[in-house]
Amino acid sequence: MSKNADVLADLFAAAKAAQAMAYVPYSNFPVGAALRASDGTVYVGGNVENAAFPEGWCAETSAIAAMVAAGGRRIAEICVIGNGAALCTPCGGCRQRIREFADAATRVHIAGPEGVRASFTLAALLPESFGPGHLKA
């Protein structure tokens, strides 16, 4: 296995562990996310539901919040894992949250229980996006 494959395997394993900790009593659809910050630190999150369903936090949002709370500001890559046959890509809100801390070339890896199924750039998932650069004078 190459060094890049080893690194992606570690990110997948972290996302899978986060998925196992998700709190999903209403949807019963656990999602995990693991992101690697620009300094190499990995942050994880699982989706968290509550009785006011569908209000809650997506796994990607939880991982981003953990990164920000620790002082991180740049996502180098992210892996999202969900069950089922379909690709569990980030929702629109999470794509925008990822965009806040990533750039168009950032890799977004989509996984199922068996491993990574597909990889995209953020630009492919969120074309012509609005981001922090638009707000600079």
Residue 48: both structure tokens together:
């968290």
Q: Which residue has the tokens 């492919």?
A: 124
Nearest residue to 21 (alpha-carbon basis) of 32, 11, 13? 32
For the beta carbon of residue 75, count every other beta carbon within 10 angstroms: 26
Decide: helix, strand or coil at residue 72: coil
Catalytic-residue membership of 100: no
Q: Which of 49, 55, 60, 77 is catalytic?
A: 60
What are the E-state strand segments in the chain?
31-37, 42-46, 48-49, 56-57, 75-82, 107-112, 115-121
Q: Active-site residue numbers?
A: 60
